[in-house]
Chain A
Amino acid sequence: MNEPWIQVKDLTVRYGSKVALERVTLDVMQGEMVSIVGPNGGGKTTLLKVILGMKAFNEGTVRVLDGKPGHVAPGEVGYLPQINEHLRDFPIHSLDVVLMGRSPRLGLLKRSGPKDRELAAACLEIVGMSDFAEHPVQTLSGGQLQRVFIARALAMEPKVLILDEPSTGLDAVSQEDFYVTLRRLRDQQGISILMVSHDIGVVSNYVDKIACLNRRIHYHGSPGDEIPEHVIQEVFGRNIQILVHNKNCVTCKEGHSHE
């Protein structure tokens, strides 16, 4: 246990003269679920792309599963990009989407076999989508599609799961469902989960650690710690209205909402 599976130290990324990330430091331990929150344009996706090895960086060190980003063994890092509604037009059934996740483990030129189909079906089961295996993705709701994509990432048998704005387009109930599924995965399979989100509402109830990112990391905290007001203003700006959800909030348990 307790070794960082993602280790980011003093990371700086520039696009020309514009600094996208500045001296960012972040650890995600084995079996930890971490969320990065921050405004759009704050460098969240850039950070994920660096960790995935899809973007070069200028300074600092980044280690993923004890290797350079992008050079980990195939399938060890599962990635879920921001949902792309475009994908819905593709003629494909849920189970075939999940089977695509077997690609890195199979390697080039090899076809998936019955064992891969079994594993893909088991992944759909984990995310509660078994009944939809033969459904075309066109017929799925946003939340269902997102679960199928999680199942695809799981079919890689990853150690680390990276999610970019996974709750976009989901209603409140689906969001809660989705985070519960992620937590169960973390608990049952011991995988590390790193996700970014522009909302700090619901997500803070489900993760082990939160980092606020707006070019720099402004705050590391655990759920239950209240994010200081000045940090929120520094990260999101003054005019933003945010619902900070605190798991120790008593009124909430009594059915009272934060307004």
Chain B
Amino acid sequence: MSEMLSFSFIQHALIGGFVISVVFGFVSFFIVEQRLSFLTVGVAHAAFGGVALGILLGLSPYLTTVVFCLAVALLILKQVRENRADYDMVTGIFFAATMALGIIFLSISKNYTFDIVGYLFGSILGIGGQDLLIICVTAPLIALFFFLFFKELVAMTFDREVAISAGIPVKGLEMWMIGAIALLIVISIKIIGIILVTAFLVLPASFALKYCRSYRSVIGVGILFSLVIFLSGFFLAYRFDLPAGATIVTLGTAIYLLPFRRKFN
């Protein structure tokens, strides 16, 4: 164990994963209660288009992915508002369209060495110092947004119409919230992967909602859940030489399915 912890790539993975787990556990409540699970699938898959765009333009894939995913998330929101559509339908369109664009970008760019599996399923041990820095700066800022506007975000999640009538700037907050979620997805893709990230975003609150009867305990239990599945998944993966992201998500799903008896207030 101590030998394992002495490797710098393990330290990077643990610190990055820890920070991401706490913020995921917190934000998970808003994603589940606002029924944005599929939106997170759409934004995560848009990252594929973003990375491909970076390769095509010869720019940093991080930069192009941030811009691309934010643009897609806000475009989905715009379509939802203008067409009075739901996220499910609009995301269904963009989910495929951004993957299609990604494939087109890659086919145009002639020479590329691209670890596609790493992006799809995450490569937690490939987290470099720069990746860690981005995670440790951005994730707390995202959490700070949810913390500062917590009262308003809970009110609009609970009863949107009353929140609007009470003068809460629901549309503005919603836009920032979608943007923050998109950013969170982008910075965590290297750790957990495009395909697996939604499970990690949805599982904490889904688990907590089975046992908790107040939103504060849902968030608390959600954060705890996400830390438990990350740490135990990570060590299991290391011990048995399994892919980390996949182990974490499989473990999380197994715990979600377990029938516990206790309820929390």
Contact = CB atoms under 8 A, between A and B. Distances in A.
A100 B213 contact: no
A103 B218 contact: no
A109 B164 contact: no
Interface in B213-236: 213-215, 217-218
Interface in B150-181: 151-152, 154-155, 157-159, 161-169
Contacts of A100: 151, 154-155, 158-159, 162
B162 A81 contact: yes
Contacts of B151: 100, 103, 106, 110-112
A152 to B, nearest CB: 8
A104 B155 CA distance: 11
Contact of A90 (B165, B167, B168, B215): B215
Contacts of B212: 91
B152 A92 contact: no
B213 A136 contact: yes
Nearest to B215: A91
A75 B33 CA distance: 26
Nearest to A74: B167
Contacts of A104: 166-168
A156 B166 contact: yes
A108 interface: yes
B238 interface: no
A8 interface: no
A81 B168 contact: no
B114 interface: no
A103 B213 contact: no
Contacts of B152: 103, 108
Interface of A: 52, 54, 74-75, 77, 79-81, 84, 87, 90-93, 96-97, 100-101, 103-104, 106, 108-112, 134, 136, 138, 152, 156
Interface of B: 33, 148-149, 151-152, 154-155, 157-159, 161-169, 209, 212-215, 217-218, 265
